Each structure stands twice: as C-alpha cells, then as structure tokens.
Amino acid sequence: MVASAGTVVSVRGAVVDVAFGRDALPPINSALVVGWDRPEPLVLEVHSHIDPETVRAIALQATAGLARGTPVRSTGAPISIPVGDAVLGRLLDVVGTVRDRGPALPLDTPRRGIHNPPPALADETSATEVFETGIKVIDLLAPLAQGGKAAMFGGAGVGKTVLVMELIHAMVEKYQGISVFAGVGERSREGHELLTEMQGSGVLARTVLVYGQMNEPPGARWRVPLTALTIAEHFRDQKHQNVLLLMDNVFRFVQAGSEVSSLLGRLPSRVGYQPTLATEVASLQERIASVAGASVTAIQAVYVPADDFTDPAVTAISSHMDSIIVLSRSLAAQGFYPAIDPLASSSILLDPLVVGEEHYLMAEHAREALARFTDLQDIIALLGIEELGADDRLIVNRARRLQRFLSQPFTVTEAFTGTPGRSVSRADTIAGCRAILDGEADDWAESSLYMVGTLDEARRKEASAAEAGGPP
C-alpha cells in the first residue's frame, strides 16, 4: 500500500487516534511513525478503523508530550525489525532499535515484519527427540522436546527466572544453535543482570536479547514476543539453524494484552481478562514450530497470579505446551531447589516409545513413591513415622532420600551459595534414582543426598562424613 500522511486528533495514554484522508486509511496492524520534535521516534500500530477517516492506534513508546495536530506518516506495512547475523550479540527493543549502547547496525541489515503466519501444518515436523538439560528432576519426570514448547509455571519468588537462566547456561555446551531471549514485562534489574552475565560467560555472541520491560507502555510489552519470534523465524527459515527461544514472562504478554484491550474500550471477559485471550495466546504459540531441517525450541516462564493454577491465562497457555514444569512454593520453603513439583509436572515425551522402557518405568516408580509419601504426610505429622507399617516406613524413607537427590546446585546461584553448579546426564539421573529406590541409600544420612550432582558424589559425601564420625 502507498504511504499516506495524517494528523493526531486525540491522545489517551497509549491510545492515539489519527485522521487520514477518506481513501488513504492504513490497514490494520500497519506501522505509523509520528513526526514529532523528540530525538526518540514514536511508532504506533493501527488496531481499528473507527470511522471512514480515522484509525485508532496503540503507541509502542511513551506518548508524554504528544499533541493534537502532530503529523503522522503511515508506512503502509507492519512494523519491521532487523534480523540475521547482525543482531547476534545485541540487545534490541520492540521496534528493533539497538539498546546496548553499542554501534548502530549496518544499513544493509535485512528486515522482516513482525506479523507472519505460522508454518503450514504439512511443513511442520513433530518433536520426538529428547532435549537434555542436565537438570535431574526435569530430565527424569518432565523431559523437554527438541523443537517443542515447555512452560515453567510458578508464583512470585519460586525460581522461574533462575531456572530459565540455568537452562541458558546448560544449553551452551550441548546445544549448537542460536538463542533468542525475550524479556517480556520483567524488571529492568533482571535485564541488566542477564546482559552482564552473558557478556562474562561468552554466551552473548550466539544470543539475541529482545526487551520490553515493566516500565514500558503496554503496547511494547504486548508486541515484544512477536519481535523475538520474528528473529527466531528468520534463523529457522532463511539460515536453517536450530533456535532456542526463551521467554520470561509470558503472563506479562497476556497482562499487556489485557491493558491494551481495556484502553481500546473492549468489554472484559472472565476474571477481567481481554475477550481475545485465547486468540492472542494461540497466534503467538502456533508460530513457535519446527520445519524440516531446523527447529525452534521454546522454553517459557509463566507467572501464576496468587498461585491460582485455574487462572484463565495459565490454562490458555498450558493448553499449547508439550512439557509443563510446575514450581511449588512449599518445596521452595523447605529449601528444595529447583522447587519443581514432581507430581504436578508432566511431559508428552514421557512415553516408553520416546524415552525408552527403562526411563519410563523409573519415572513411574519415582512418582509412585513420592505420591505415597505425600499421602502419608498428614499421618506422619499427627502420629509420627513410627506409627506407619514397615512397608510404608520404607517407602517414606526412600522417597525422602529421592526428594533430596532431585535437588541440585545451579551455576547461576554459585555467587550466592558458594556451591559450584552441577549438570547431570539423563543416564546418571536414572541410575541414581534406581539405586535409591532399590535401597542402596537406606542407611545413608539424608543430608548426603541434598544438593549434589550424581549418586557417586553423594556416596563420597557419605563416606567422608562417616570417616569424620558425624553427619555430612
């Protein structure tokens, strides 16, 4: 479409109405550029045609100082952002502007619109290859899929961001591909920490960071996942490279959509969410797909408001996931990190045809022991463990040791705990769980199994404690 010119007729926070000529209305989702006197450009995105001459748009930057009558230029196309090798190692905002105070991108950097259809169903490939993370409880009970979608659900302060950062670290050695990190509505401090840490660990050269932070307008937070996804799609489609897409936090994307919906005057739906909630989540998640020769593996953190897992946003996001990792506040309170609930977490890959018979049976056996321990906890609290039968006492004894064995020190927390991080292979995890459930560790102190890597490390810890003549 031919570019056209208009003028601002009203400004209500992030909602801006722009008048154009009767035959020159820009299409929905096209970008408008405000010609004001500020150094920072102001980009708007068209969301509705409110009459034959006026469009209603959402601002992607702050509108403070914007006045009626300000000229606006229509680009006639969706927001386009830089993609390709030039953006590797850089930090971008929602419209693709470099924000890391580094040099400007080359003028010949290719650009791509942020609104793209998902791949055709016939072109998509299914995800059946296990994506090893080195985190015991995930690899055992909720294995991730190469080219699949995994979400980590948890309330405030239970370790979602730490888990995402640990997964970035864990993938550097094993995963030869590109990482794209989308910081959606999170704290500015977390963005600084991640950038500094990536610069120090040498990971940044293979990573693109895209941020729409908590202090930015809802339009920026709403569109930033599409910006990150567009960069990932370019590497998948044009470069045929595997991409690891990390999002923290997808709930903030839904929340920003709810704010935009209210600003546009739509009636709210269930629990105050936007009526288009399911459509918005689906339009994002359906684009995260793998095609022949290249995969996009998505790992997403999802905030659970007030620890309510029946919240409409949480249920809408979980319906698109292959692996669901649930973080538990009670486990975090007991000091079990990562605080992953082994009974609530699940994965479609936990199938003997995918992970093998041995892994499947061991996972079922472990889950059975932990479920029985959970059932007996009320009785233990009231009457004490001595009142249980011999069989139940044995199960509780082994489940407690298994629970401690599934805790693990992380590389990203080493600065706070002083304990070096551990990465454990799936084979070592299965072997350790089998040994515990077969009774090898029945006489060990429970603390020998807490915050270790492999069972061999726990064995050494137990042996050194025995030599010292006290608990480890």
Q: Helix or strand or coil: residue 327?
A: strand
Indicate which residues carry an active-site annotation: 160, 186-187
Q: Helix or strand or coil: residue 81?
A: strand
Contacts (Cβ under 8 Å, ≥6 apart) of 310: none
Asked if 255 and 219 touch (Cβ cutoff 8 Å), the reply is no
What is the DSSP-derived secondary structure letter of residue 369?
A: H
Spatial distance between the Cα atoms of 131 and 246, rounded to a whole number of angstroms = 14
Spatial distance between the Cα atoms of 45 and 48, rounded to a whole number of angstroms = 10
What six digits make up the tokens of 274? 């936007």
In which element (H, E) is residue 300 found?
A: strand 296-303
Q: How far is CA 57 from CA 34, 120, 398, 467, in A?
A: 11, 30, 60, 72
Asked if 183 and 146 touch (Cβ cutoff 8 Å), the reply is no
Contacts (Cβ under 8 Å, ≥6 apart) of 290: 124, 125, 127, 147, 236, 296, 297
Contacts (Cβ under 8 Å, ≥6 apart) of 325: 138, 142, 150, 151, 152, 153, 163, 340, 345
> What is the CB-side half-sphere exposure of residue 293 using CA atoms within 13 A?
9
Asked if 240 and 294 touch (Cβ cutoff 8 Å), the reply is yes
* Biggest distance spanned by C-alpha atoms of the chain: 88
Phi–psi pair at 145, nearest 5 degrees = -105, 135
DSSP secondary structure string for all residues of 169-200 = HHHHHH--SEEEEEEES--HHHHHHHHHHHHH
Beta strands in 353-447, from DSSP E residues, in sequence order: none
Spatial distance between the Cα atoms of 435 and 424, rounded to a whole number of angstroms = 16
Spatial distance between the Cα atoms of 462 and 471, rounded to a whole number of angstroms = 8
What six digits make up the tokens of 208? 């693109």
Asked if 88 and 207 touch (Cβ cutoff 8 Å), the reply is yes
What is the DSSP-derived secondary structure letter of residue 387?
A: G
> What is the CB-side half-sphere exposure of residue 283 using CA atoms within 13 A?
16
